[in-house]
Amino acid sequence: MDLQNICFHAIEIIKVTGVYISSESQSFDKNKVESKGLHDFVSFVDKTAEKQLIEGLKHLVPNVAFIAEENTVKTVDSQYKWIIDPLDGTTNFIHGLAPYAISVALMDGSEIILGIVHEISRNETFYSWKAGKAFLNDKEICVTNTSKVKDSLIATGFPYYDYECMPQFLNSLDYFMRNSHGLRRLGSAATDLAYVACGRFDAFYEYSLSPWDVAAGAFIVQQAGGKVCDFKGGDNYIFGKEIIATNANIYDEFLDKVKSIMI
C-alpha cells in the first residue's frame, strides 16, 4: 500500500471539503444548529462535510470502513478504517471563531498509519504517514526541545458534558497556571495536537474525547518526534477518552504530574 500517495490524494479531498466549510462560515445561521446532547452541537455543515469526505475517501482504500462522528455512513467491519471528524471545533464554527479543523486518520487493525489535520481558518494542513516524516503545508515539522514543564506552553480543553473529573481537572489547571508559561484552550483538540507536532505548544492534555478528535493529531505528534499516552502512561488514548501529548523531553515530568492530579 502506497501510503504517501494515499495521503496526498486524501489531502486533496479534505481541502475541497475545507473550502466548502469555509464558504458556509460566511453566512452560517446559528439558528440551524442541532443539539446532540448537553453542549454537543451539530449542523448541516458537519453532516454535509462528512458525506463529502466519505464519498471521496472510500475510493482510496479497498473495502475500507468508517468511524465518523456524525454517523452518516453505516459502520462495517474491515481491517482498514478511516476515522473522521468533519468539523472539529463545531462550537467555534457556529460562533464565528477559529480554529476549527477536519481530522482524518487511517487505521490498519489497531494501528494508525496515516493522519491529516486541516485547520481551515489558517489553511494549514498537518500530515504524516507510517514510515514518513511529519509536515505542515509541505514543510517538515518537529516538536519542541523544551526540557522543563516550567518553560512550557500547554494546551488543554474543557469538557462539554462529562464533569465527573472536574475537581481534579481544576486542580491541574491551578498547578499548570502556576508552573508553566501558561495554558491555552483553543476549542479544537485536533488543532491542539497539530500545534504540539509543529512546536507551537509543548504539551496537550484533555479528557472526555472521542477517537475522531485525537486519532490523526496523536499520530502526527508521534511522527514529529513527540510522545502520546493516556493519563496512566498507557496506549489507550484513541478509544480511552483521555490523552497526553508532549515533546520527548518533558514527557516523564508532565505525565507524572497529570497522573498524580487526575488519577
pTM reported for the whole predicted model: 0.95
Predicted confidence at residue 74, as pLDDT, reads 67
Cell, residue 9: 490524494
pLDDT of 194 over the 90 cut: yes
What pLDDT digit, counting tens, does each position of 38-73 carry?
A: 444 568 899 999 999 999 999 999 999 999 988 777
Q: Could you state, in order of their start, the residue ranges of all structural domains in the chain?
A: 3-140, 149-262
When mean pLDDT is compared across 24-33, 80-89, 108-117, 136-145, the lowest value belongs to 24-33
- What's the CATH fold of domain 149-262? D-Maltodextrin-Binding Protein; domain 2 (3.40.190)
Predicted confidence at residue 72, as pLDDT, reads 77
What values do phi and psi take at 173, rounded to 5? -60, -45
Predicted confidence at residue 39, as pLDDT, reads 45
Hey, CA dihedral for 41, 43, 49, 50, is it positive or negative? Answer: positive
pLDDT band at 30 (very low <50, low <70, confident <90, very high): confident
pLDDT of 243 over the 60 cut: yes
Quick one: average pLDDT of 14-37? 83
The domain 3-140 is classified under which CATH number: 3.30.540.10, 3.40.250.10, 3.90.1150.10, 3.30.930.10?
Answer: 3.30.540.10
pLDDT of 132 over the 80 cut: yes
Quick one: average pLDDT of 171-189? 98
pLDDT band at 37 (very low <50, low <70, confident <90, very high): low
